[in-house]
Structure 1
Amino acid sequence: IRKGSDLVQVWHAVGAFKTFGYSRLGKPGGPSANSLSHRNYTKAIVSSHNVARHYAEGFGLREDQVIATGIPRTDMFFDQPFIEEAKARIYEEYPIFKQKKVIMFAPTFRGNGAKSAYYDFDQLDLDALYEALHEEYVFVLKLHPFIRRRMEIPEVYADFFLDLTDHREINELLFVSDILITDYSSTCFEFSLLNRPMLFFAYDLEDYISKRDFYYDFEEFVPGPIVKTSEELIERIKNKDFEMHNVKAFAEYFFEHQDGKSSARFVDQILLGEKK
């Protein structure tokens, strides 16, 4: 990096959830102690000062180098004309989304990285999910881009299970989603801005903690019920049992600014160097 230049890490996730970077020293897939990864950042941005210490640890920065500007790509959640235009495009392409409620299934991958990434689709009972939910819902899959092998959807269920993994912008799909099912994905942070229900399908929680771990106690942290089987998923959805009381507080903790002006703060505080 040239003298006087900054290299700012804007990252691809919001909040702080599963550990990353140097927080993973000694864990499978984590960096070695002398790794050069992340070593040349001069600043990083975060959604809230509450998570600054975790990003400082993960990137090997001082905490004062981590700045809570908010995350620019979340500005769209406060731009109503943009939301309406995005929804109109999606409804035109998928008219069934206007006829039925949308369940968004967006899990993260298993494995140590892009080369070994996978998801255990056998954990989903497609027959049971279809029989219980197809009259009222559609079930949209948005898989992590590392996952190469897709779920095989039987033709008879093609009007219920829709694989939209290749849709470029997950946040646009969140706008039309009534329920989010995820696990250890940071998608839950963005979805909390919509104040809609979430379920956490964490069938392998103990194993995931031992291999990856989190910055917070997962069971106390997530803003929705943890379920481990398709039967529990169905029961929660049918009974509309989502524990919504946690969602707003979750969003307030992880989003210091909820005003759609994070891009402006990034320009002012990072590019122009103005003080907060």
Structure 2
Amino acid sequence: MFKSLYKLFNLLPIKQDRITFASDSRIEMDGNFGFVYENMLKQGLNYDYKFMLKSAITEKKTLKETIQLAYWFATSKKIILDDFYPIIYPLKIREEADLIQVWHAVGAFKTFGYSRVGRPGGPSIKSLNHRNYTKAVVSSKNIVRHYAEGFGIDEAAVAPIGVPRTDIFFDEKYKENKREELYNQYPFLKNKKVILFAPTFRGNGQSSAHYPYDVLNLDKLYNELKDEYVFIFKVHPFIKNKITIPYHYVDFFYDFSEYREVNDLLFITDILITDYSSVCFEYALLRKPMIFFSYDVEEYIQKRDFYFDYQSFIPGVLAKSTDDIVNSITNNEFESERIEPFVQYFFDDLDGNSSERFVNELIKEDVQ
């Protein structure tokens, strides 16, 4: 029905100033969407903005919303996505329009999309997913080919103009305000150093996403680090099995998984512990220590694989056990010399103007 409605509405002329933002992973104009939209308003661009925002792919659209979305897609000059959006992939985008993907992740790390054909959880070579993007944005010319391959689009369609949501890492006022806001909201963070544990999920997708918390020795972490640190969990939104924090450790471990924007938490973080998550790209912009707790790296390489050799790629120290984590922290051994080359490779423009480039180069030149 949706595809038929879209074809029917294609008989109507495109609204030359209409821009539609569509997401199945957020209900507010935040993340990349927020920065792009805010820059449009800052520039006084009074376009005909439309929004279709849902918290998850599983949140159904009403009949009215379905009809509305088909109409907006058919008559918009620009359609902007920030994540996987399955309802749009069978559609043929009109020649005078653009479908722009401003992906939720930064950089290129673990393989995704058509780079995973033939692997568990990978797409069929006949899949239509992603292939109709007319433009996609990335942080560096060095990863254009990886996104082109992952999305199944031409390299010419991938624009290395920077990722809008990274602009805050160059905004000292924003960072200071966010730190103050977090300290006021969570005063227990003030007088301790903060360890942020932000791993990606295990499983083939949203339905099977989980994290095996038992790989962490909570007793050891608490006993060795409690005097100087607090330990914050921020797991991937897909992960449904939440960490159970023993009552006698509640002054050390805290679960911040419901906090929406992980980037804001990075500003009060002293040490990041991750594994295969793209959060390492943003955190690298702060030039602070990272530990890559990758106890299953050999298995992960076989099942998922990476665009780069993992151990030479990571901008920090590799840890395979809780002992390794503790030793790295207590001995102040993080291999931080890896961070600067990492930043220089994965970011072309370190100026905080990615949102403005997005608007000026991908929107204003065409929209009337």
Q: Deviations over 1:149-207 (max 9, x none)?
A: 11110010011000000011111100000000000000000000000000000000011
What secondary structure does 2:208 align onto? coil
Take 1:261 and 1:189, find their aligned partners in 2: how far apart are those partners? 17
Q: Deviations over 1:62-96 (max 9, x none)?
A: 11111011000000111111111111110001112
Aligned to 2:131: 39
Q: Counterpart amino acid of 1:149?
A: N
1:81 and 2:212 aligned? no
1:241 and 2:333 aligned? yes
Take 1:249 and 1:213, find their aligned partners in 2: how far apart are those partners? 22
Q: Counterpart amino acid of 1:19?
A: T
Aligned to 1:214: 306
Take 2:252 and 2:310, find their aligned partners in 1: how far apart are those partners? 30
What secondary structure does 2:277 align onto? coil
Shift of 1:227: 0.6
* Equivalences, count: 274
Shift of 1:37: 0.6
Take 2:162 and 2:330, find their aligned partners in 1: how far apart are those partners? 36
Shift of 1:23: 0.3
1:54 corresponds to which of 146, 152, 175: 146
Aligned to 1:105: 197
1:149 and 2:225 aligned? no
Take 1:61 and 1:35, find their aligned partners in 2: how far apart are those partners? 13
1:131 and 2:223 aligned? yes
Shift of 1:36: 1.0
Take 1:63 and 1:273, find their aligned partners in 2: how far apart are those partners? 21
Aligned to 1:227: 319
Task: Extract structure 1 runs of 4+ deviating beyond 6 A.
Answer: none
Q: Counterpart amino acid of 1:48?
A: S
Take 2:230 and 2:203, find their aligned partners in 1: how far apart are those partners? 28
Structure of greater Rg: 2
Aligned to 2:48: none
Take 2:152 and 2:364, find their aligned partners in 1: how far apart are those partners? 24
Matched ranges for 1:198-209 at <5 A: 198-209=290-301
Aligned to 1:119: 211
Structure 2: tracts of 5 or more residues without a match: 1-92
Shift of 1:119: 0.5
Shift of 1:127: 0.2
Give the percent of matched residue pairs that are identical in Structure 1 and Structure 2. 57
Aligned to 2:287: 195
My pick for the range that moved more, 35-44 or 131-140, is 35-44
Take 1:265 and 1:42, find their aligned partners in 2: how far apart are those partners? 17
Shift of 1:262: 0.2
Take 2:294 and 2:306, find their aligned partners in 1: how far apart are those partners? 13
Take 1:157 and 1:249, find their aligned partners in 2: how far apart are those partners? 38
Q: Deviations over 1:123-147 (max 9, x none)?
A: 0000000000000000000000000
Aligned to 1:69: 161
Aligned to 2:361: 269
Shift of 1:266: 0.4
Q: Counterpart amino acid of 1:205?
A: V
Q: Deviations over 1:100-130 (max 9, x none)?
A: 0000000000000000001110100000000
Q: Counterpart amino acid of 1:10?
A: V
Take 1:137 and 1:273, find their aligned partners in 2: how far apart are those partners? 50
Q: Counterpart amino acid of 1:39?
A: R
RMSD of the alignment, in Å?
0.9
2:116 corresponds to which of 20, 24, 37: 24
Aligned to 2:100: 8
What secondary structure does 2:295 align onto? coil
Structure with more contact order per residue of length (Cα contacts < 8 Å, sep ≥ 6): 1
